[in-house]
Amino acid sequence: MLLAGVFGKRNIEALDMEVTFPEEIYANRSAFIKIKIINRKKFFPAFLIKVLIKDFNLSCLFPYFEREASAILKIKPEKRGFQNLKEIYIISVFPFNFFIRWKRINKTFSFIVFPEPKKCAFSFYQNKKNKGEILIDKLGWEGDILSIKDYTEGTPVKYIHWKATAKTDKLKVKELSDHTTQPIIIDFEKISILEKELKLSCITYLILEMMKKGIPVGLKIKEKIYKPNLSYKHKITLLTELALYE
């Protein structure tokens, strides 16, 4: 019994954990996180280690590992905004299943959940005189620069942005808009949906769909105005703004 106690206690000592989240997590949609458990003991492997994440009722068993082990777990957050994994426990019945030993990981892993995308019926613009609930930005006609990006093979020389190239010592090109993908700015206040969460979900869906179609999207929300863009960073910025909206 004494040896069992010593080895059992030693088994869960010096264990640490890391969690990796995907770039995009949406409310009421399944997403996958990666957990990695790390053994910081120099000469003693870990046996029968169970990780329990009570925040989302997740668990995973690692029968044996020496330095580290990882697993993919599925989560499904129910609401948008900041979320935390903070009730994380390491549990083990090693070596003889007489006692259950456990310790809590003294860490908090935070991540942002975007609003659940929902398809809604919007009053799309018909022309520039009737803008409806979508504002058309004056920028972005054919030949206007939407963004600067890295050069890709086959891009014509006329699109090289020499100033950006000189500043970064890396070949940069201009990304231009055309008349088929006129930029739009979504005005949050002009979307005629009263229920706040539904409005956020509808706008989230609209942003994702427009960017998927190659249409630069901007957002006017509270006192902030984000100009239309197609970059991935811009998309995450808009979705984060919606996720944290009060």
Tell me 200's DSSP state. Answer: H
SS3 95: coil
pLDDT exceeding 90 applies to what percent of the chain?
Answer: 59
- pLDDT for 38-56, tens place per residue? 999 988 999 999 999 999 9
Question: Which pLDDT does position 25 carry in this prediction?
Answer: 98
Least confident of 86-95, 100-109, 179-188, 191-200: 179-188
Average pLDDT over every residue of 164-188: 79
Confidence bin at 33 (pLDDT 50/70/90) = very high
Write the burial class of residue 98 (CB in 10 Å: 0-12 exposed, 13-18 middle, 19+ buried): exposed
Specify the pTM.
0.74
Q: H or E segment at 205?
A: helix 196-212
Question: Which pLDDT does position 227 carry in this prediction?
Answer: 95
Confidence bin at 91 (pLDDT 50/70/90) = very high
Decide if pLDDT at 140 tops 60.
no
Q: Domains of the chain, with CATH numbers?
A: 2-113 (2.60.40), 134-142+177-243 (no CATH)
Question: Which pLDDT does position 135 carry in this prediction?
Answer: 45
Least confident of 111-115, 190-194, 232-236, 239-243: 190-194
Confidence bin at 176 (pLDDT 50/70/90) = low
Question: Which pLDDT does position 132 carry in this prediction?
Answer: 35
Q: H or E segment at 61?
A: strand 58-65
